[in-house]
Structure formats: structure tokens, C-alpha cells
Chains A and B, each alone.
Chain A
Amino acid sequence: MSEDELSTEELRKRLGDLEQENKVLRERIAQVDRDRAEYLQNVSHQLVAPLNAIKWHIENLTGARIGVDRAKKVLRSVYSQATLVVHLAKNFNLMSNLEADHALKKLKEPLQEIELCRLLINLADDFQPLAWDRDIKILVHKDHFDNAPPVLVMKPLISQVFSNIIENAVKYSDQETEIVIEGKYVKSTDSVYVSVQNHGISLDPDHAKRVFDRGFRSPEAERKYPAGTGFGLYIARRIVEIHEGTIAASTRDGWTVFEVTLSVKGLKGKARLRE
């Protein structure tokens, strides 16, 4: 066989390999397109559902189809649906900036000292009307937070962490159950620990690790609430990581538990995000 023939043979082989590679890439692009379409449909579903509720409630109010007592309840429901839309819109905005390290600077917020207990009570108030829809009660055990000093954090982001965890707990809790929020100061690490516990989906150890992955949804979550995006807990994890804290999920004694630990000094003196 001549050198030219060998070269042609080699070229044919390479061409074949490239065609195969091209086919694989096209399949991947098609999969990404399908995933994106599903994601957009889920985003649309999440935003449309509460907005639709608001519109229809208003139609009932203006059409005088409900009495005064019922109208008060409806207005509370309208308020909670609006709260949910704001919460979701913040998540979708955060998603674009959390995806890449180079975009993290866009998240820059002044560091603030905040009392986690107060923040959690406010969030519980925000989500309680939504939780009442399925007779779920949100309890913040205030006394457990005694002696917990404020933590130095970017408040809007940390608020979104707990907002996502609580919204998740409301969404996946069984009817007529409680969501229990507790916290304490951990002297040894000079940090504040918070746990959010609910009765709903039990997580096996594998799912408990993956639940913070971008887009991951456990099969049970997918079944119970098909329109989810799997981004809420991913956003929570990324924000906690930026604050150099820890976040974990587990199932213990029938409770699904989400735990977050944030250092009291937070990002004080650290260069990241502050340049």
C-alpha cells in the first residue's frame, strides 16, 4: 500500500469519526433544546398559576359572586399568590447570575447584620397564607434562637435561601401537617444553625445529596408537583456556598430536614464578591 493510499484511508477514518462526533453533538443539542423547552414550560406554569388565581379571584370580587367574609379570605389568598410571584421572579433573576462565577459580581450586595430568627418569622408570615390552603402550619421556635447573634450576610440573598427552603416545604408537605423552624448558636464554630423540618417527601441518601443539584427533582417530587423546575434548592446551595456556609438535607424519624449553617462573621474581611 502506498503512502498516498494510507493517507486516504486515514482521512476516511477521520471523516467517519468526525461524522460520528457530529451526530453525537447534534443529539446533545437536540436534548438541550428539549430540556430548555420543558424548563420554559415549567417556568411558565409556575408564573401563570398564581397570576391566573389572582385574575379569577378579582373577577369574582368585581362580579360580587362572593360574600364579605369570603372576600376577606380571597384577598388574603390574592396577597399570598402575589408573594409567590415575587418570590419566583427573584429566583429566575438569580438563576442567570448564579450560573457562572464571572457573573457572581452582579450579585454584589452590601453586607448587613441580620437576625435570622426575625427573618424566618417574616418569611413564615409570608408563606403561611399559602400553607393554610392545605391546612399546613408554619411554626418558628423563637426561644431556640436565644443568644444567637446576628450574622453578617447579603440579606436579599440569604432571605431567598430560606424563602426557597420554606416554599419547598410548603409545596411538598402533606396536608394538615406542621413545618417546624428552629435555630441555635453554635459556639464552637461561631455560627448560627437553622433547620426547617416538614412531613412530606422522604429523601434517600442519594436523593438527599442530589436535591441541591441544578434541575434535579426526585421521582416523588416530580410525581407530586410535576411543574417544578428543580432550581430553588440549587439557588439556595449556591448562595450558601458564596457565604461559605453549609447546607444539607436528610430524612430523620419521618421528618424531611433542611439544615443551614452560617458563620456569624460571614464574609467580613473576605475579598470574594467585594472587589
Chain B
Amino acid sequence: MNRKTILLIDDEQSFLEPLADALQFEGHRILKARTGHEALEILKQERVDLVTIDIMLDPGEDLQDEVDSHSTGLFLCEEITHKYPKIDAFCISVVSEMRIIRKIESLGIRFLRKGETPLRTVLDMIRSRLTGIAYSTERDKNPRLK
């Protein structure tokens, strides 16, 4: 698999570290954003292939008036879907509110529960998504699954 650029959006170092270690081991270039604002700045400047998004996240100073920290990730999911439709995205969060999860999934973004999903599963899903083979939530867009 070619080297891809993956942006991890999360304010918890404890989550970022093991995921970054594993993805680097698979040969990918890793970028990290700790706030919503940082994530949007990186997306403006870098060519990113895939993002992982946490929901409860510091929006950052420039976004704090328009976004609540409990739903920064939801805001990012909407921004990425609309402005960067070619970027694949996963949402990885402990949020259990079904309203938020349904909204994320309605955007075509796969939701994975932090703490319940083994790292191996996340890596398999990311690999599959980057190679376009499986685990897609949008089967119609995947020619191999037609």
C-alpha cells in the first residue's frame, strides 16, 4: 500500500500515541490536531487522505464562539464532508448519544466507539478504506462491492 497522509484529530495524547505508533509502523505519514481550529488549518495546508475525528474536543480559540466543545467533532465531520468530500473519515469517540451518532453516520462517516474497538480492527478498517476493498459504509461508491 502506498504511503498515505493521515490526520488524527483528538485532544487526548493517550489516544493519539498508540494509534500514531501503529499507523507509522504501517508506513503512513501522521499529522495530529488537538483542536478543531488546528484540524481545519492542517486541512487547508496539507493533502490529507484520511482523518480520524473525536467528538468532544476543544474547538480552539477561533472557533469557540460558533462551536460547543461537546460537538466540535460533529462540526468537523460536516465541514470535511462538505469541503473535502474526497477525504475518508472515521469518527472515534466515547460519545453514546444516539442523536449525534446518527447524524455522523448520515454524513457517511463510520462511527467507532473508543474503548470498545480493538486497535487491530481500527487498523484493518483504515487499511481497507485506503485500498477501497471493504468496510465501506457506502457500498455503492465502491466498485469492487457492486
Which of B13-21, B81-89, B102-110, B128-136 forms contacts with chain A?
B13-21
Query: Are A52 and B21 in contact, with the CB atoms below 8 A?
Result: no
B12 within 8 A of partner (CB): yes
Query: Are A81 and B94 in contact, with the CB atoms below 8 A?
Result: no
Which of A98-106, A222-230, A248-256 forms contacts with chain B?
A222-230
Q: Mark B73-98, 1 if CB is under 8 A from A, else 0.
A: 00000000000000000000011110
Q: Give which listed residue, B14, B58, B95, contacts A53 with CB less than 8 A.
A: B14
Query: Are B12 and A223 in contact, with the CB atoms below 8 A?
Result: no
Q: Give which listed residue, B12, B13, B94, contacts A44 with CB less than 8 A.
A: B94
B-chain residues with CB within 8 Å of residue A49 when the two chains form the complex: 12, 14-15, 94, 114-115
A141, chain B: closest CB distance, angstroms: 27
Which of A56-64, A149-157, A178-186, A261-269 forms contacts with chain B?
A56-64
A12 within 8 A of partner (CB): no
B-chain residues with CB within 8 Å of residue A227 when the two chains form the complex: 56, 94
Query: Are A56 and B18 in contact, with the CB atoms below 8 A?
Result: yes
Give the nearest-CB partner of B17 in chain A: A77
A45 within 8 A of partner (CB): yes
Q: Give which listed residue, A52, A74, A225, contacts B15 with CB less than 8 A.
A: A52
Give the nearest-CB partner of A52 in chain B: B115
Q: In whole angstroms, how far apart are the Cα atoms of A59 and B21 in the complex?
A: 11
B42 within 8 A of partner (CB): no
B22 within 8 A of partner (CB): yes
Query: Are B69 and A226 in contact, with the CB atoms below 8 A?
Result: yes
Q: Mark B104-146, 1 if CB is under 8 A from A, else 0.
A: 0000000000110011100000000000000000000000000
Q: Give which listed residue, B59, B72, B114, contacts A52 with CB less than 8 A.
A: B114
Interface residues of B in 24-49 (CB under 8 A from A): 25
Interface residues of A in 7-57 (CB under 8 A from B): 41, 44-45, 48-53, 55-57
A residues near B, CB below 8 A? Answer: 41, 44-45, 48-53, 55-57, 59-60, 63, 65-66, 70, 74, 77, 81, 133-134, 222-227
B residues near A, CB below 8 A? Answer: 11-15, 17-19, 21-22, 25, 56-59, 64, 69-70, 72, 94-97, 114-115, 118-120
- Lowest 4 A-B CB distances belong to which pairs? A53-B14, A56-B18, A226-B69, A48-B115
